[in-house]
Amino acid sequence: MKTLRIRTFTIFCFFFILLLPWIFFVTSHYMETKTFSFTKSQPQNETLQRQLTEMIHLIETGSDKWMDPNWQNQLHKELRKAKMDVAILSEYGQEIYRSNPERRGALSSTERFSIIEHGHLLGRVILYLPKSNTVQMISIFSGLLLAFFVVGVEMRRFLLKPLENMSVAARQIAAGEWDVQLPLSRITEITEVRDGFEVMVKGLQKSYRKQVELEEERRFVIAAVAHDLRTPLFALRGYLDGLEQGIAQSPEKITKYVAVCKEKSAQLDRLVEDLFTFTKMEYWETKLNNKAVDLKLILRKSIDSLSPLAWQKHISISNHAADDCIISGDTHLLERAMNNLLDNAVRHTPSNGEIVVQCYKDGNKVKFTIRDTGPGFSSEELQQVFEPLYRGEESRNRSTGGSGLGLTISQRIIKRHGGELAAGNHPEGGAMLTGWIPVANPN
């Protein structure tokens, strides 16, 4: 849709206001002239007819005195009384006398006749009849009113109405109605404001939806983690009550009770740490403490920290990491991510299973894979494995100690480092987590 600048529109309106009254004036004068020409043998009223007859008679009878100043003065007085003017021309078209040199316009009503005596042309006479400005003034005023009316209607259509509709749309958006129809206009400035307003609305809508999603996720995380905390807390309280009340009397039973309490407290510590890290990655825009680190060393530390748990389940962890896996990142967060990935693999790998860790450089990326010999992911799990607090059917038992945040945290840490993390299944069976992080830029 073509648009006009508001100053161009204003110039058009101003030109129209000036042009329309002039058209009305010219049209009315033309119609008046035509009417008078049609009825010039029958003057409009008796007074004008009488004055016209007397003036013609005076000029005809004084044809021999046209050059006489006294006669010209007398004619001038009579013309002033009749509010007329005259131009007398010779037979050759030369001007003999003109009562009013300024009155030459073609817009004046005239009466033209020739003076002939004994068949000889003495001269030609042009009588300028009295002008009535009433019709012209009415036509000018009418044209001006019509011009203002048309300009007012068009200004409301092109300027005021779109602004009013935009104001209504702004109030609707403020009330929470996002699906509003913004008005169209042929004025460029209003169209630009509309486009900017539309971009702002889309941005606000996107921000609002994101805020709603974050709020829903926050409530969900708090409710789910609170639910997860209840199980170890309930068990911990039960065993502590048993110790306090003397239910565990033998050293073996006391040792068992204490071991369970330590296990549940460790489980609580993992849950709280997962919740803290998840909240930090989701809501804190903290700057990463980036420095050049070797991903091979980070994987080695994570494997060492999980070796006791793997040893208890008789799980072997093999590490195949190259020597040039240098990346730029936050060492603490990367260790946290790799610990979560390996912990997930250890918890879901059955006894006497195997976990294979690989790390190598591929172009400008450092890729890593963690494969286990567990049951792998189902099709449903592959779609939701990185969602917060999601647990597969095989891991819903609280005895595994998982919070459902480990893979989510790992993925977000790796994404913050500019990489990606994906879940899949190995062709020979078992789950396989594959990821990459950009190599460190040499300085």
CATH number at residue 324: 3.30.565.10
* Whether residue 327 sits in one domain with residue 411: yes
Which residue type is seen at 189?
E
* Whether residue 262 sits in one domain with residue 378: no
pLDDT at 408: 82
CATH of the domain at 123: 3.30.450
* Whether residue 167 sits in one domain with residue 28: yes
* Whether residue 313 sits in one domain with residue 434: yes
In the predicted structure, residue 116 carries a pLDDT above the cut 60: yes
Query: Is 203 part of any domain?
Result: no
* Whether residue 169 sits in one domain with residue 33: yes
User: What distance in Å separates the CA atoms of residue 404 and residue 398, rounded to the nearest whole number?
Assistant: 10
Domain edge (last residue) among 131, 158, 178: 131
**Which pTM does this prediction carry?**
0.48
Query: pLDDT tens digit string along 37-68?
Result: 444 434 445 777 788 888 888 888 888 888 88
Domain edge (last residue) among 284, 305, 325: 284
Query: Is 201 part of any domain?
Result: no
Query: pLDDT tens digit string along 311-366?
Result: 888 999 999 988 888 999 888 888 888 988 998 898 889 999 999 999 999 989 99
Domain edge (last residue) among 284, 319, 339: 284
Query: What single string gives the DSSP state of each residue in 30-86?
Result: HHHHHHHHHTTTS-SSHHHHHHHHHHHHHHHHTGGGTT-HHHHHHHHHHHHHHT-EE
* Whether residue 255 sits in one domain with residue 107: no
**How is residue 185 annotated by DSSP?**
-
Tokens of 16: 């129209």
* Whether residue 155 sits in one domain with residue 97: no
Q: Are 431 and 348 in contact (CB under 8 A)?
A: yes
User: What distance in Å separates the CA atoms of residue 438 and residue 441, rounded to the nearest whole number?
Assistant: 9
Which residue segment(s) compose the domain that 245 sits in? 215-284
Find which of 17-31, 343-357, 384-398 is predicted with most confidence, using mean pLDDT.
343-357
Query: Is 50 part of any domain?
Result: yes
* Whether residue 71 sits in one domain with residue 155: no
Query: Is 3 part of any domain?
Result: yes
Distance between first and last Cα of the chain: 53
Query: Is 23 part of any domain?
Result: yes
User: What distance in Å separates the CA atoms of residue 66 and residue 56, rounded to the nearest whole number?
Assistant: 13
Alpha helices in 96-187 (DSSP H): 134-155, 161-174
Query: pLDDT tens digit string along 194-206?
Result: 888 888 888 888 8
Q: Which of 29, 22, 23 is nearest to 134 (CA)?
A: 29
* Whether residue 346 sits in one domain with residue 299: yes
* Whether residue 244 sits in one domain with residue 169: no
- Structural domain count, the chain: 4
User: What distance in Å separates the CA atoms of residue 220 and residue 32, rounded to the nearest whole number?
Assistant: 87
Query: Is 324 part of any domain?
Result: yes
Tokens of 69: 């100043």
Query: Is 307 part of any domain?
Result: yes
The distance of Cα 86 from the centroid of its chain, to the nearest Å, equals 72
User: What distance in Å separates the CA atoms of residue 336 and residue 420, rounded to the nearest whole number?
Assistant: 16
* Whether residue 346 sits in one domain with residue 250: no
CA angle 193, 199, 203 (to 5 degrees): 140
Q: Say whether 222 sits in a helix, a strand or coil.
A: helix
Burial of 424 (0-12, 13-18, 19+ CB in 10 A): middle
Tokens of 299: 């994987």
* Whether residue 31 sits in one domain with residue 112: no
